[in-house]
A and B are shown apart, each in its own frame.
Chain A
């Protein structure tokens, strides 16, 4: 069998199984089993497949994934999230489009608490979207910023997806986590600028309303009590990694432990909250790790079949500028991202991209950052972005899927713009990790 036949078999099989509704993890497993049978010496190879399932996840590099997830659920069940939103709300003055701006600010703050998009979207969509509708905001403006903020959750550390990407790609986990900080903040700023310009041009989309005055003392007190502590935990985790005081795994565990202490300090560490937080974190972790059990075998089989090296040869001999190659790769990710979720995208694309990145001599961290921005896009691109469905679930009655698609569009464009900026100006991604 020629490499391209294998490639077609791999991807056609995977697509068919996924669209059949087979859980993604099992779809990978089935394709791997057939691949192993054909490439690794029939049934003998199955023993190797079992070993590769173990190897894929029995590594402490992946431990930050469940740690960051647990940190996020502990934060949510500490009641920290709504209080943070309130604090940011108090500080925002009479700016136009303030609720939409607040959504982005809250989204960025929430992003420091959690590494998964859906949590942010559910929380902001169920609190701020109705609030915006109440104040006469256009439907599009009351939904779009929420979707954008969900994407921020993945880009601003802690980010489980960054760990997945670094680990599958063999990039430094520490550098990847540090490198996404600046683009994450930049993206939030771009969202805010966009909202301000849009509201300036179309004031009817966000009618001004009276904001009750909050005394400065109260604002400062709330900030010190409810905004600074959770933020400092995240800053501390990043500092630990940045200065090398601890490995990413250790930093994540310490951050999770500190979050637990914070929960105790807020008087929220009761059994019911802990049970829910740990239960949710376990469920989410199992869900992601289960997909990763197929990661090693899938990429190794692609390599074994000769497909990986053939594609690399093809890519490197194409008579085009390297930047075109980069754009092409990103386009592929955007298209795949319309249909499947992010962990799977990493699994199917990185084994093929990696040799090309090496052959091109690109800085892998630069690539990883651009890839991260692209991957977060997948949560909000129609038709199958997960955040879109979550939004539909929490949006006010009468919101259609089409409303949500249109609301997402500008934020999709902003993400693509950020990718272009990162491709043109690599230092934005590489400046911070260059000090490591």
Chain B
């Protein structure tokens, strides 16, 4: 049969964002493994469609393959980003695992084919808070204005802080002027590229969630592919998931060094406070997922997660 060409759109322009490299890596893998069978053509990123509209556009068949942050799916596939809490080295367990099939099922119900969630090793390349006030405990967030993403808003609210939504382009000014006191960012994802190290005093070295990027496909398009093409895509994803930890470790290292060189202080919490912080982070996010899934599904996810340990 003829070679299939899949059109890909992503949340961030290729070559711009380290997390976006997951999309690039996946595309390279497919184009190498899939010669004569399946190829990916890159159409663009936020210039082509606003990032938060991309998931629905994928469902509508405007393009075929997507890369971005798992929590962009929050509106379309509720709980589709639950692998943010995964204790597995590969967040979704990787193609062939039970957890992977569960996640694929979640997306399939909404007209999407989940291809994979790639992230750093646990605790590497994840979400961190950076602030302009010293922090020794989660209690210090109380009453503070914190710029959040949809994923990190739960912990801020649970800690009694005020969550503020701002696009990355406004973070610099907001921090500099004190409109917000801190913000969350997956540090490995080019923190210093935005110049934030110049207006931020502290990074709290308390990793939260898995971060990373995910790949998804339009379900009809996936179903229409030959088994050979599907296998190539899954193989490409598995390779990307294997490649990602090293990539994130390298970026995190690079970023934290640059941040410190710029005079930022990296705060480490006491063991006890780190434990408390982690509990609030994890519990508040679980509490959110409990509003989405029924008790049975929650039990199923927890069992699949526990299988990792």
Contacts and interface: CB of A to CB of B under 8 A. Distances in A.
- Are any A and B Cβ atoms less than 8 Å apart in their complex? yes
Interface of A: 40-41, 44-45, 47-48, 51-52, 55, 170, 172, 174-175, 243-247, 296, 299-300, 303-304, 308-309, 351, 354-355, 436
Contact of B173 (A244, A304, A308): A244
A47 B44 CA distance: 20
Contact of B179 (A175, A247, A296, A351): A247
B273 interface: no
A48 B177 contact: no
A44 B60 CA distance: 6
Contacts of A45: 60, 62
A296 B53 CA distance: 11
B43 A55 contact: no
Given A40-B62, A308-B47, A172 B169 contact: yes
Nearest to A248: B170
B62 A55 contact: no
Residue in B53, B61, B62 with the greatest tally of chain A CB atoms within 10 Å: B62
B178 interface: yes
Contacts of A175: 173
- State the main secondary structure of chain A at its contact with B: helix
A389 B289 CA distance: 59
A299 B50 CA distance: 11
A244 B48 contact: no
Contacts of A300: 47-50
A220 B176 CA distance: 39
Contacts of A304: 43-44, 48
Nearest to B170: A172
B132 to A, nearest CB: 12
A436 B50 contact: no
26 contacts: A41-B61, A41-B62, A44-B61, A44-B62, A48-B53, A48-B57, A48-B62, A51-B57, A52-B53, A55-B52, A170-B169, A174-B173, A244-B173, A244-B174, A244-B178, A245-B177, A246-B179, A247-B179, A300-B48, A300-B50, A303-B47, A303-B48, A304-B43, A308-B47, A355-B47, A436-B177
Interface in B167-194: 169-170, 173-174, 176-179
B56 interface: yes
Contact of A48 (B56, B169, B170): B56
A436 B53 contact: no
A354 B46 CA distance: 13
